[in-house]
Chain A
Amino acid sequence: MRDLRFTIYDLLCGTVGVPATARKSQIINCTILLLALLAGVLFCGCAEVSEAGAGIAQAAGVISADQAQAVTRSAKAVEKSWQDLTPEQEYYVGRAVVAQVLQSYPPLDRPQANEYLNVLGQSLAIFSERPETFGGYHFLLLDSDEINAFAAPGGLILVSRGMLRCCQSEDELAAVLAHEICHVEQKHGLSAIKQGRLTEAFTIIAAESAKQMGGEELAALTEAFEGSVGDVVMTLTTSGYSRKQERSADAAAVALLQRAGYPAPAMITMLERMDERLADAGGLGFAKTHPSAKSRADALRATISDTGSAPDLVREQRFSAAIRPVVAGK
């Protein structure tokens, strides 16, 4: 009976027919090994398990050292996501995203208005939770009547003439820019990149040594890059971020406005005006990619306690001087 009770252990540990004294110590060693393996599976990620597997296979002579290295690299690449892109890589994605968006939305070459937009935007960005990006925050107006704004990864932010028309003061324009800055801060643009493209890119990156890429590697990486840029542009212009991401950017924008000294209720008045204008625009631009402006305003109203203040004369004057000439006509 006693021998039968140990049969499973004997089978696992290969101690069938081994004398009782030797069998006991062999079973203890085997159990420790099994527990260690189980702990490895439970506490390590898939990459580590694959790495261990590759190491074992190499040690057993099943695969070569190069093959083992490749398995390890691939496993690690699979595990990586958009969060593993460095600020430098994010910067290059953001630049290409803007270049692509500008193919559909031409820039508005109005130096005074663009300078004002940048001073305002950059004076807000310093109060962001992420004031430093690889290339910094930069803003540009778009020559489009569509109500829209785009935040490309890394801090390049585009605002349409149609969006400017939703703002009747510097405080309201600050609210628009704060919302976009918070998309950059929370890396929502990067999160739109499909995992498959990143796995491909990280596999190439992992294989690349500290030297310039070869032609084949560069071509494959450029393809993964173009796909990634396409994913972000598609999200910005067509499909939109998730409702959760929009709400998160709104909430963070209110906090950012307050840290920067702008009245938070400006966010609500801007959204209310946007709601009216979007209704007239027939569902284009922001309406296509964002939750309704009214629902966003309603959600924020419950969180903002201050009632705002009288418009500041200097802010009113400089906003009028820089922006009104650009939006005149509609």
Chain B
Amino acid sequence: MKIRILVVLLVISAGAALAGPMSVQVRNCRVRATPSQLGSTVAMVDYGAVVQAGTPQKGWYPVTTADGKTGWVHESALSRKPIAMRAGTSDAATGVSSDEVSLAGKGFNEQVEKKLRSEGKLDYTWVDRMATFNAGADQIMKFRMQGRLPGGGQ
């Protein structure tokens, strides 16, 4: 009995050690109802927002958003390093060191792209158009079902 309690306590403490705040490092982050890219969307979280993450399972973190919604986010969308928004934005951080945080919009950024566009060095017309080519989860599910593709790892 004592051993069982000890094991349970160890599992809980290991989970607690892995859990913690993580930052969204992609532009449009969907919190999903199940640990799958085809899971229904519970909430959308902005770039740089902080979520409370639990112990990951096969690349998926169980998360709780700032407004209390719970779901799953893939590890590739999250960063342990806090992301501070630039000055002038609502979440702008002050007095932060760039070694402790990633500063959103820093470095190779929109400002650099604007400069290249204004100098007429690169034409982004098709790049912008390409970014609108989006298949939704419903379309992908239908495509896979009609093509008789098994669920695989999802």
Contact = CB atoms under 8 A, between A and B. Distances in A.
A201 B106 CA distance: 10
Given A131-B76, A138-B131, A210-B103, A261 B112 contact: no
Interface string B6-49: 00000000000000000001111100000001100000000100
B122 A261 contact: no
Interface residues of B, number: 60
B148 A314 contact: yes
A226 B121 CA distance: 10
A260 B153 CA distance: 7
Contact of B147 (A99, A202, A218, A318): A318
A95 B147 contact: no
B37 A131 contact: yes
A102 B123 contact: yes
A135 B131 contact: yes
Nearest to A255: B153
Contacts of A156: 127, 130
A119 B147 CA distance: 12
B147 A170 contact: yes
Given A130-B76, A208-B106, A221-B108, A261 B25 contact: no
Interface in B87-128: 87-88, 92-94, 96, 98-99, 102-113, 115-116, 121-124, 126-127
A132 B127 contact: no
Contacts of A208: 106-107
Contacts of B98: 205-206
Interface string B55-81: 000010000000000000010110000
B130 A138 contact: yes
Contact of B152 (A89, A115, A127): A127
Contacts of A76: 99
B124 to A, nearest CB: 5
Interface of A: 76, 85-89, 91-93, 95-96, 98-100, 102-103, 107, 114-115, 118-120, 122-123, 126-127, 129-136, 138-140, 156, 170, 201-202, 204-206, 208, 210-213, 218-219, 221-222, 225-226, 228, 258-262, 312, 314-315, 318
15 contacts: A86-B25, A86-B107, A120-B143, A122-B134, A126-B37, A134-B26, A135-B131, A138-B134, A210-B86, A210-B93, A212-B86, A225-B108, A226-B121, A258-B152, A312-B148
Interface of B: 25-29, 37-38, 47, 59, 74, 76-77, 84, 86-88, 92-94, 96, 98-99, 102-113, 115-116, 121-124, 126-127, 130-131, 133-135, 139-140, 143-144, 146-154
